[in-house]
Chain A
Amino acid sequence: MIRYFPLVVAFFLLPAFVHAQDKVKKDPPKKIVVPFELIKTQHMVVSVKVNGKGPYRLVFDTGAPDSLVSTKIAKEAELFGKGKKVPSGLFGNAGQTKIKELEIGDLKAESISTMVMNHPTVEAIAAFAGPLDGILGFTFYARYKMSIDYEKNLITFEPNAYVPGDVMKVMMDKMMAPKSVREAPRILAPAGLFGIRVEKAKDDEDAGVTVKNVLPESPAAAAGFKTGDRILTLDGRWTDTVNDCYLAAGMVRVGSPATALVLRDGKKLLLKVTVHAGL
């Protein structure tokens, strides 16, 4: 523990970070196909230009909620403004900023949130598998309907109008929230009204939950649910706990039918339920 202490102190010397809201950007809706390279470590690497500079090699990472570029990119692409110095903390951390224009193949994206840092994991991979300058994450790819083909080593992008929120801000708000808020249980709210009660005994480890009762004239009654039915899936999602049911119920859409897989008298049935606006 002690040997890390100087590092911990060093965090307090980190530069401030830039915050700005993501803008809704409308790219022309067309499919763009981009090649990727599968490097020795089995990471996908794409070639990008940042504010016209580059090309740079970034790991294409669906597990990264943010994007990340090295301080080298930050300097060359002038991410902190023309002629301005790039702030530098531990691991070259310069905080959060925006890439004005990011090009990948024929695709141009604007205003992509990214952090600036020389990430040790990226550097370790680079030392083994060739140069890398960062990571392309959720702040970029969530804006597109995306298809990853590992056989042809191609990614297809098509704008989907989705606006990825600022996860770093969400997380900061979450971490800075008062203890009472942080430690309150999450409430799982259904999206609409089904009219059904389900239960599961503590020692019951079989798949699904059991229908305790179905309210008369409810959407669940109209769908044909009966007391004693074992619900195995709802809207394609497993319902192995009561909470699972509520999670699935939170994601159905009011007015559009959802399918439930139900076990009744040893037979599997598919029931279609259309939930109503209500609670």
Chain B
Amino acid sequence: MTLRWLTLIVLFAAPVALHADEPKKPDDKKPEKKFNAKPGLVPFRLTDTHHTLVRVKINGKGPFNFIVDTGCPVFLVSEPVGKKIGLKTEKGWAILDSLEMEGGLELTKVKARVETPFQIEGMNGMGLAGVELHGLMGYTVLAKYQMDFDYTKKQMLWTPLKAEPLEPQPLKGAKGSTAGMDMMVGLVRILTFLSGIGPPPPPQPRGFFGFELEQADKMVRVTRVLADSPAVEAGLKKGDRIINVESKEIAAVSEVLQHASKIRVGQTLTLTIERDKKQQELKITAGEGF
């Protein structure tokens, strides 16, 4: 218990500091400056670890999963992803020809650091985020925008700013000041190993049934059964009242969805329905679709 707790502490509230190499000197080929003040909506979701996840395509490849991280000074691509895209690095730095964000915002000639921070290694190693993480979107990209966050919404609003972000600065602290950080890296590897927890298998879609519902006075009724659907095959009819789903009583449409949420293609959903004042059980074999 304590061991796993510590793993979390080590992985979680941790800003990222640039550590080893000097960033590449700004070369003659200055980043193209195409100022486009059009704001963009950036869809996001929260990972299981409460990180704000956005998706990007790098040089047309992807999508990849990045954490919006003001605690990281650079745009940081994990090494496996760098390899997959075929990024050419010099002392761990690369220039991305294009960085597209889900929702439509796009940047060209983006400087990126290619390395795998221990936080990402640890979270991916144990599958903690519920999704594979590919990098951290830090200051050098974030500071190009005014960012509006609202966790009651599905999208953020990012408005391009005119000022260019500053060059990243590596840590140049007193001697030994980064020893603790170095220790963290080793710790995370060991803790991940000792936890005995591995990444989960890839997600799978829920099955499809093909009926619509409405709810009135804690009663849920079928309002439509789609033609060619598993529900029509199983004999479900418009007007049927849903009493139970998977042996659980139903008083709301959301409960039907919740109790059916784990049924995969080919598996069976068991319903108790009421039709003509008689209750009966129906089994629907989930098909494919949504």
Q: List chain A positions with a Cβ less than 8 A from chain B.
A: 1, 4, 7-8, 11-12, 14, 17, 38, 40-44, 59-68, 90-91, 93, 115, 117, 119-125, 127-128, 134-135, 137-138, 141-142, 145-151, 160-162, 164-165, 167-168, 170-172, 174-176, 182-191, 193-198, 215-218, 235-238, 240, 242-247, 249, 251, 276-279
Contact = CB atoms under 8 A, between A and B. Distances in A.
Interface in B101-152: 102-103, 126-128, 130, 136, 138-140, 142-152
Contact of B69 (A41, A62, A117, A122): A62
Contacts of A134: 13
A162 B12 contact: no
B96 interface: no
Contact of B146 (A151, A196, A198, A235): A151
A65 B168 contact: no
Contacts of B43: 235-237, 251
Nearest to A236: B43
B177 A127 contact: yes
B63 interface: yes
B5 interface: yes
Chain A binding site: helix, strand, loop or mixed by DSSP?
A: mixed
Given A121-B14, A123-B180, A186-B130, A42 B150 contact: no
A149 B190 contact: no
B4 A93 contact: no
Contact of B253 (A40, A123, A216, A277): A277
Nearest to A154: B146
A42 B201 contact: no
B70 A215 contact: no
A198 B288 CA distance: 9
Interface string B174-191: 100111110110110011
A41 B205 contact: no
B171 A145 contact: no
Given A61-B15, A121-B181, A193-B290, 15 more contacts: A8-B3, A63-B51, A124-B171, A124-B181, A145-B150, A151-B162, A162-B151, A170-B48, A187-B206, A188-B204, A190-B290, A194-B289, A236-B102, A238-B102, A279-B211
A64 B68 CA distance: 10
B210 A63 contact: no
Nearest to A10: B6
Smallest CB-CB A-B distances: 6 pairs: A120-B180, A63-B69, A61-B71, A127-B173, A278-B212, A127-B177
Contacts of A142: 50, 151
Contacts of B31: none
Contacts of B16: 63, 121
Contact of B205 (A127, A138, A149, A242): A242
Contact of A279 (B70, B168, B208): B208
B205 A243 contact: yes
Contact of A150 (B49, B161, B227): B161
Interface of B: 1-9, 12-18, 41, 43, 45, 48-52, 55, 57, 63, 67-73, 102-103, 126-128, 130, 136, 138-140, 142-152, 154-155, 161-163, 165-166, 168-169, 171-174, 177-181, 183-184, 186-187, 190-191, 194-195, 197-198, 200-206, 208-215, 223-224, 226-229, 253, 256-257, 260-264, 288-290
26 contacts: A8-B194, A42-B169, A61-B71, A63-B16, A63-B72, A64-B12, A64-B15, A66-B13, A90-B6, A93-B6, A119-B14, A121-B14, A125-B15, A148-B70, A148-B146, A150-B145, A150-B146, A171-B128, A175-B128, A183-B201, A185-B202, A215-B289, A216-B228, A243-B204, A246-B290, A279-B211
Nearest to A246: B205
A124 B181 CA distance: 7
B154 to A, nearest CB: 6
Q: Which of A135, A141, A216, A279 counts the most chain B CB atoms within 10 A?
A: A279
B290 A249 contact: yes
Given A8-B190, A151-B162, A277-B212, A59 B5 contact: no
A200 B276 CA distance: 43
A104 B21 CA distance: 35
B102 A91 contact: no
Given A42-B139, A62-B149, A142-B151, A184 B55 contact: no
B51 A65 contact: yes
Given A194-B290, A240-B63, A127 B50 contact: no
A12 B8 CA distance: 14
A79 B51 CA distance: 26
A89 B120 CA distance: 24
Given A41-B171, A174-B48, A145 B148 contact: yes
A125 B17 contact: yes
Given A63-B71, A215-B229, A215-B289, A279 B15 contact: no
Contacts of A240: 63
Given A121-B181, A279-B260, A11 B6 contact: yes
Contacts of B165: 42, 150
